[in-house]
C-alpha cells in the first residue's frame, strides 16, 4: 500500500483507530525534519534541526511526558515544507511549527506537548511548501 502526503510511517500508525473515532496511541507525536542536502539547497539540517530534535527529546524525557498515551519525539526526512524550515509537525493535530532555537522548543514542549496549547507565534505559515 502506498503512503500519501509524505506522512511518516509512524504518524500513520500513531493515528490509527479501529472505530474511526480518532484515538491515538500517542497524545502528541512530534516529527522533526532532519534532512540534509549536500547540493547547497536549503534544508532543515543546516538550520539547527538536529540540536532542536535532541533538545526536545531530552526535555520530554525530563518532564516525564514520554510514552504511550503521552508524547513521542521522532526524526523524519524531508517533510516538503523546506521554505518554512526548520520545521516540526505534531500529530494527530497536524500542527506545523517553524522554530529558531532551543527556547522555541521549550515553548512547544511546555505549551503544546505538555498542556495541549498551540504556540501560535511559531506556526509555519500555511503557504510555505518546498
Ligand atoms: S528539508 Fe526539512 S522540510 Fe524539506
Q: Tell me, what CATH number does 64's domain have?
A: 3.40.30.10
Mean pLDDT of all residues belonging to the chain: 87
The answer to whether residue 105 sits within a structural domain is yes
The answer to whether residue 43 sits within a structural domain is yes
Query: Count of domains in the chain?
Result: 1
Report pLDDT digits (tens) over 18-63: 444 457 899 999 999 999 999 988 899 999 999 999 999 999 999 9
The answer to whether residue 12 sits within a structural domain is no
Q: Reply yes or no on whether the pLDDT at 115 is more than 70.
A: yes
Share of the chain above pLDDT 70, in %: 83
- Counting ligand 1 atoms within 8 A of each CB, the residue from 87, 88, 89, 99 with the most, and so the one to mutate, is 87
Q: Are residues 28 and 71 in contact, defined by beta-carbon separation less than 8 angstroms? A: yes
Q: At which residue does the C-alpha cell 524531508 appear?
A: 78
Tell me the C-alpha distance between 93 and 52, whole Å.
20
pTM for this entry: 0.84
Q: Are residues 30 and 71 in contact, defined by beta-carbon separation less than 8 angstroms? A: yes
The answer to whether residue 49 sits within a structural domain is yes
The answer to whether residue 128 sits within a structural domain is no
Ligand 1 center to residue 81 CA distance, Å? 5
Q: Reply yes or no on whether the pLDDT at 8 is more than 70.
A: no
Q: Are residues 49 and 34 in contact, defined by beta-carbon separation less than 8 angstroms? A: yes
Pocket (CB within 6 angstroms of ligand 1): 33, 35, 43-44, 78-82, 85, 87
Tell me the C-alpha distance between 19 and 64, whole Å.
29
Range of the domain at 36: 26-122
Atom of ligand 1 nearest to the CA of 84: 3
Amino acid at each position: 500500500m502506498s503512503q500519501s502526503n509524505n506522512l511518516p510511517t509512524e504518524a500513520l500508525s500513531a493515528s490509527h483507530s479501529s472505530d474511526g473515532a480518532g484515538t491515538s496511541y500517542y497524545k502528541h507525536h512530534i516529527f522533526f525534519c532532519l534532512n540534509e542536502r549536500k547540493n547547497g539547497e536549503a534544508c532543515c539540517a543546516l538550520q539547527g534541526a538536529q540540536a532542536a530534535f535532541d533538545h526536545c527529546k531530552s526535555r520530554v524525557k525530563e518532564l516525564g511526558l514520554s510514552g504511550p498515551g503521552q508524547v513521542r519525539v521522532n526524526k523524519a526526512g524531508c517533510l516538503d515544507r523546506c521554505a518554512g524550515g526548520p520545521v516540526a509537525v505534531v500529530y494527530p493535530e497536524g500542527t506545523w511549527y517553524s522554530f529558531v532555537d532551543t527556547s522555541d522548543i521549550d515553548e512547544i514542549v511546555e505549551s503544546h506537548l505538555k498542556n495541549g496549547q498551540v504556540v501560535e507565534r511559531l506556526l509555519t505559515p500555511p503557504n510555505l511548501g518546498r
